[in-house]
A and B are shown apart, each in its own frame.
Chain A
Amino acid sequence: METPVQQSTCYHCGADNNGAPVFHDEKAFCCNGCVSVYQLLTESGLDSFYTMEDKPGVRKYSSDSGKFDWLDDSEASKALIKYSDEKQSLVSFYIPDIHCASCVWLLEKLPSLKKGIVKSEVDYLRKEIRVWFNHNETSVRSVVQMLAWLGYEPMIQLSDLESEADSKKPWRRTYLKLGLAGFAFGNVMLYSFPEYLGLDLYSEYLRSIFTWLSALISIPVLVFSAEDYWKNAWYSIKSHRITMDVPLTIGIFAMFAQSAYELISKSGSGYFDSFTGLIFFLLIGKLFQQKTYHAISFFRDYRSYFPMSVFVKNEDGFKAIPLAKLNKGDVIRVRNEELIPADSTLISEKARIDYHFVTGESAPVNIKKADEVFAGGRLKGQEAQFLIQKTVDQSYLTQLWNHDVFKQDKLTNHVSLADKVSPYFTWVVLAIAFAGFFYWQSTDTLKAVHVLAAVLIVACPCALSLSIPFTMGSVLNTFSKNGLYLRSERIVDQLSKIKTIVFDKTGTLTESGNLPLKWVGRDLSDLDIQLIAAAALSSTHPLSLAIVNFLKCKEKHVPDTLIEVKGMGIKAIFGNKTIYIGSDKWLNSNGIEAQDYIGNATKTYIGIDKYLYGAFIFEQVLRSGAAETIDKLSKTGLNLVGLSGDTKPSVGPVQVLFDSFKESNFNCKPEDKLNIISKIKRTQPEELVIMVGDGLNDAGALQAADVGIAISDDVHSFSPGCDGILQANQLYHLDSILQLSKDANKIVYASYTISFLYNIVGVSLAVTGLLSPLFTAILMPLSSITILVFTTGMVYLISIKRKLV
């Protein structure tokens, strides 16, 4: 056998094999897991997977066989199954690891990899797979296990079990409505052609046939395509409000009634073309505005963060059970990087917990046996056992969701511009229509009725109702190109009225994750660096670990003697050299002269033999553009407020930034953040507040603010319930984004003016009784198209000006 070509990356997943490749088929792999996936794929004839893209595979994460045991629980698996008949079941999963065409290809080949799977279908943008399987041959659990084994572990969350219904279905209905309206518009226009051209050969007989046909085609448009408009109008009248749908519906029905009258009295061919065209344009506007961002969820709460199952101790070891069945007094096992699901106490000797989610504090804390641990903490390092003290929904973190702010939807109280205009509009139109009616009634009753109908028809706020959908649709589109995803177009209106912006520090203004280190002191020799790394390696303190990561030493020295004093530092003796790592007090107590010369930053001092050499400073790094954005925002006259879960830093870029804020608060717990927002809203009830934050610890504040924007490194990953998600690297656009939302309102006002002008022309013709169906057939589409071109064009031009395109 030939010597295989030396490869440092895995043939399957592309990961570095750390110089110890596993060989199979003359190809290098990083582990046996990848080999077995490769074997299965070649045996099933799916080896063309490897020719599609360079290193397409996904690294296998866990070989933990018990992890999905809880899916055998019939309740849990039943909740996951979307549809089931006597032979087949359908499940769908969210798989974050789907990243390229080969993923789609491989996942859709599941039926040839596993017996019992009938069909699998991937939705790439939603990162979702739908699997049809024969439930007599296989089970939900083995499907999930198969996916996990291939490296595509589905992310199953508690909220999956509770949410219901296929989210795609309502879209189908909108498409159907649009299709029907388009069909009717096209055909009715064809039948109206002879009339548009005033053709003579157009006999009375043909005319009545065409009109009847137009009427027949228009009925389904009224009943089906236009249903949202008249239904909404009805609901709003019932709740004593006048929305834009009310005048719209009045117009639609006036148009239809007048056309029906003309049809029956054989006096004309009605307004069926204008009617169908109107509905067609309105539906296009609706489709344009209702952008959904695939796989982005704005309604997450704590349940989305928590795992689906936990390992609970019973007589014969640990068994995975669904989270909902966790009780007080259970003993659970948590592994590295897993979340602690409920408030509990530590049973193991020690553990390290990262509370970044809960408090925003970035450095992990060390806890020892019998210490309290709060839900939402993430275990770092060695696995540990915990005794549950409270159930999941009673825990400290989840209690936040019982706060009143979570019980209402902010948008229900929001009054949009259209809502403000529509009552006036409706009353004015009705007044003009009846004024016209009474004016003509004395001379000609029939004409008076015509004028009434004509005014209502031509004043139909079609162009008016298109202004907001097209403006906001384009604005949302520009925002999403710049990494901001809003949950509704109404948020744009809110954004334009903002007076105060509240920023969270950790993860929002500063980079989340590991703290970068800085060495301040004299130059260290290579040997010194190696010895410091070796000494730090023996400690589990987070700062020591950060030092080890920072120094990146390959050589492994072992200290002859090692002394570690909790809360003070380490003393390590290597031959004739002694290394001290710790606080200034620790160095002093060992006879080294040292003062605290760094100040309030997180730091650790290094002493070698008898001398102080310097210190490692843990620096929080601002996100790129954060300082400039804050500077620009404060110049526009906004109130800026800073919140932080950490202690106040006395030096560094964070401190400089916080000093430029009007108000800053430190040591904030999640409820403190919520209360600060509520206080600002109470003192300035007229002025809207944005909260910009990340993490679960900001969830309350995001909800309490008028607009909550979550900052996220990956918009598809976790972010708390909010009104918008902003990609972290796009933070510097924030000021332009706020500007654009102000401009958007101006564009809406301008296009309102344009459509009012059209209305004035139309209505003045209508009251004189001169309005002809032909004129309406031209005026209505023309006004719609003007608005469409004006709004989208203006948004585009302004986006260029604001450098957002």
Chain B
Amino acid sequence: MEIIVVLVGFSITIALGFLAAFSWAVKSGQYDDTYTPSMRMLFSDTSKTINNNNHQKGKDQE
């Protein structure tokens, strides 16, 4: 049954990892505004940045 001690050790390490991830998410402000990001993710990137990328690729090929 001593193996359970090892398993508990693993489980608590993983759980602590999630706790740390949660605390990072809160501290970096991800819970401050839970509405605007839902709008933001629907914006497609502008044509200009796409053009720039194409431009860059063209240059690389030369």
Q: Identify the A interface with B (CB < 8 A).
A: 44-48, 52, 101, 104-105, 108-109, 112, 122-126, 168, 171-172, 175-176, 179-180, 183, 186-187, 190-191, 201, 203, 206, 209-210, 213
Contact of B40 with A104 in the complex, beta carbons under 8 Å: yes
User: 29 pairs across A/B with beta carbons < 8 Å?
Assistant: A44-B48, A45-B47, A48-B46, A52-B43, A101-B42, A104-B40, A105-B40, A105-B43, A109-B46, A112-B48, A122-B36, A123-B32, A123-B33, A124-B39, A125-B35, A168-B32, A172-B26, A172-B31, A172-B32, A175-B31, A176-B27, A179-B26, A183-B18, A186-B15, A187-B15, A191-B8, A203-B1, A206-B1, A213-B8
Is B56 part of the contact surface with A, judged by Cβ < 8 Å?
Answer: no
Is B29 part of the contact surface with A, judged by Cβ < 8 Å?
Answer: yes
Chain B, 1-39, CB within 8 A of any chain A CB: 1, 4-5, 8, 11-12, 15, 18-19, 22-23, 26-27, 29, 31-33, 35-36, 39
Is B49 part of the contact surface with A, judged by Cβ < 8 Å?
Answer: yes
Given A125-B35, A172-B31, are A206 and B12 neighbors across the interface (CB < 8 Å)?
no
In angstroms, Cα B44 to Cα A544, docked, is 53
Residues of B within 8 A of A191 (CB): 8
Is B61 part of the contact surface with A, judged by Cβ < 8 Å?
Answer: no
A-B pairs with beta carbons under 8 A, tally: 75
CB distance from A114 to the nearest CB of B (A): 15
In angstroms, Cα B48 to Cα A175, docked, is 39
Find the A residue at minimum CB distance from B31.
A175
Residues of A within 8 A of B22 (CB): 179, 183
In the complex, which range does the number of interface residues on chain B fall in? 20 to 34
CB distance from B1 to the nearest CB of A (A): 6
Contact of B36 with A125 in the complex, beta carbons under 8 Å: yes
Contact of B46 with A183 in the complex, beta carbons under 8 Å: no
Residues of A within 8 A of B11 (CB): 190
Q: Besides the contacts A44-B48, A175-B26, A201-B1, what 7 more A-B pairs have beta carbons closer than 8 Å? A: A105-B40, A124-B33, A126-B33, A171-B31, A179-B19, A180-B19, A183-B19
Contact of B1 with A45 in the complex, beta carbons under 8 Å: no
Residues of B within 8 A of A122 (CB): 36
CB distance from B60 to the nearest CB of A (A): 21
In angstroms, Cα B15 to Cα A208, docked, is 21
In angstroms, Cα B50 to Cα A462, docked, is 57
Contact of A171 with B32 in the complex, beta carbons under 8 Å: yes
Find the A residue at minimum CB distance from B50.
A45
Contact of B39 with A104 in the complex, beta carbons under 8 Å: yes
Find the B residue at minimum CB distance from A169.
B32
Q: Contacting A45 at CB < 8 Å: which of B4, B36, B49?
A: B49
Q: Quick one: which of A46, A187, A210 has the most chain B CB within 10 A?
A: A187
Contact of A104 with B1 in the complex, beta carbons under 8 Å: no
Given A180-B19, A183-B15, are A124 and B36 neighbors across the interface (CB < 8 Å)?
yes
In angstroms, Cα B15 to Cα A168, docked, is 27
Find the A residue at minimum CB distance from B18.
A183
Residues of B within 8 A of A201 (CB): 1
Residues of B within 8 A of A126 (CB): 33
Residues of A within 8 A of B26 (CB): 172, 175-176, 179
Closest 9 CB pairs of A and B: A45-B48, A124-B36, A168-B32, A179-B22, A123-B33, A101-B39, A175-B26, A183-B19, A125-B35
Residues of B within 8 A of A176 (CB): 23, 26-27
Residues of B within 8 A of A104 (CB): 36, 39-40
Residues of B within 8 A of A171 (CB): 31-32
Find the A residue at minimum CB distance from B36.
A124
Contact of B15 with A108 in the complex, beta carbons under 8 Å: no
Contact of A125 with B44 in the complex, beta carbons under 8 Å: no
CB distance from B22 to the nearest CB of A (A): 5
